[in-house]
Structure 1
């Protein structure tokens, strides 16, 4: 992002509308995923979603005149596809069989904390500030409270919440690894073409994971209810196209820290929707853990903001990196 792009801000109403899209749409994709999982197995759900969204996006951008990507670009897209769609989204979707969608969203909010630590260790970002370190400590406390919570909320596969917690934390970690890789190894050409390539690669790997997981015999196209079809269409249309396009645009016109505020708003939206529509009850321990994680992510994201003049951002900033569902 250039200094000119940041200083020449668009109308505040446009920025507000784009942020609202991220907050509401990405926050609601957790409930949509849980609804779709009543008829779709997890990895096939994510695989078909990403292949469809990525295939259409790639075709549209190429037909509009974008140059064909190189083999190196496809290799980079494959690495990001493994880290983000496969482990990141696939792991989060898998986890929602075992834990409530609100809890999954709260644990996914640890992504900025992983990014702060991994970015520092890899030399891509400066050493965390005191506020960031405080946020990391609070985040660990919040994760402990959430991971040790005994909930009676309805889940698809009851009795094994630990599987879901481990899966979503691994997903958050791998999402962070893929985000940093994408920043350091950007795909050339149109950023929207690169995103389509990453989704195509991720969708392919997710389908392979679904087949290895034995999901094909359990999947029956005729058994998908209208409600599950609607949830799937919502994930493709709103989650993969509209909200992500808003995020790409925000990265171009505002500071990344402002665009990244979705990380601590989405969990609040997801928890409220899960409570209102999916019977996901909240107890004192979950509420305390949620508050700690939200506060922690705010400290990590906003505490790491630079007050100096903004520098040009790497082209990879406009790829699929740093995006949750």
Structure 2
């Protein structure tokens, strides 16, 4: 992830997913979690379906690989991830939810090594993951998130695990569908799964909720989640997944807790302690260690290290008996070429 495009998409994804936790917190005040997660996906599916029709994309799955990719993405990355995430956040604050989900980079590399034979992990990345995990633990403990909220933390950890599993398995598939139709199918599968679970759940009360739970804040949160965090977020996510891979992309979960905590403090009144700031520092250090190669390639020329190209001396032309000799120097050796004076 060294190109400007990849870095921009990474930052945009961190903001889209980090601010989502605050919107979820607002919506959970009136909507049950599984139904809220399903409605979030409904809006994104409608937007993507309209885009497919407008651009004339091929939308029908044609191969077995297409269907395998759709079912993995829809069942794990979308349905399983969002269902467990919304349930878990109903027990904890938005900042803590984002922090626990930042365990995804810890889970993804071992899964990638187990499921993808070509995947390898280097020592600085291992140290970086451990340092980042230490920052996550400090932030979680500073807010008391593990005291009396074990169910919520366990659900959120399950969310990070199924997301990482889906991301790694998706990297192994080679479907024929374009990116946008693939995302639309995945979100439709995830939404159908969550609607089924919500309808079967005795505590969701779907019919009565849909007629009584709406407030301006709930509607605004749902629209933001569908348009920005889900449609925009998954477009950036799947684009980066194809370009940089699951292990590297999972590091976005180290950046989104920073965004979530700032939003929770500014808009929801959640506190930020010195321990939280220290945890953020460790998260950033862990990210830097995981990306040390790319950072060095960028910084080395600036500080004067790394390979440099020797500038050749200016060429000279000498005319001898009607022939022009073009002579230049390179590595202290004379290099000549000859052309006719005519």
Per-residue deviation, residues 33-81 of structure 1 (Å, max 9, x unmatched) = 1111112111111112213312441353256141521363234312321
Cα deviation, residue 180, structure 1: 0.8
Q: Which runs of 5+ in 1 are unaligned?
A: 1-5, 153-157, 309-325
- 2:127–2:289 contact (8 Å) kept in structure 1: yes
TM-score of the pair, normalised by structure 2:
0.73
Match of 1:39 in 2: 30
Q: Name the structure with the higher strand share.
A: 2
Match of 1:262 in 2: 252
Match of 1:22 in 2: 13
* Map 1:1-325 → 2, pairs under 5 A: 18-58=9-49, 60-61=51-52, 64-70=56-62, 72=64, 73-151=66-144, 160-214=148-202, 215-217=204-206, 219-248=209-238, 262-300=252-290, 302-303=291-292
- 1:54–1:198 contact (8 Å) kept in structure 2: no
- 2:68–2:173 contact (8 Å) kept in structure 1: no
- 2:40–2:226 contact (8 Å) kept in structure 1: yes
- Is the partner of 2:120 in helix, strand or coil? coil
- Is the partner of 2:49 in helix, strand or coil? helix
Q: Which runs of 5+ in 2 are unaligned?
A: 298-342
Work out the CA distance in 2 between the residues paired with 1:94 and 1:298. Answer: 32
| CA gap 1:149/1:306 in 2 versus in 1, 3 angstroms | closer
TM-score of the pair, normalised by structure 1:
0.77
Cα deviation, residue 190, structure 1: 0.7
| CA gap 1:151/1:202 in 2 versus in 1, 3 angstroms | same
Structure with greater contact order relative to length (CA < 8 Å, sep ≥ 6): 1
Per-residue deviation, residues 214-244 of structure 1 (Å, max 9, x unmatched) = 2125624332110110000000111122343
- Is the partner of 2:154 in helix, strand or coil? helix
Q: Which has the larger radius of gyration?
A: 2
Work out the CA distance in 2 between the residues paired with 1:110 and 1:271. Answer: 16
- 2:45–2:188 contact (8 Å) kept in structure 1: yes
Per-residue deviation, residues 68-108 of structure 1 (Å, max 9, x unmatched) = 21363234312321211222122112111111111111121
Match of 1:313 in 2: none
Number of positions where the alignment pairs a residue of Structure 1 with one of Structure 2 = 292
Per-residue deviation, residues 260-312 of structure 1 (Å, max 9, x unmatched) = 66332211111111112112123344444444344334434x2586999xxxx
Cα deviation, residue 248, structure 1: 4.8
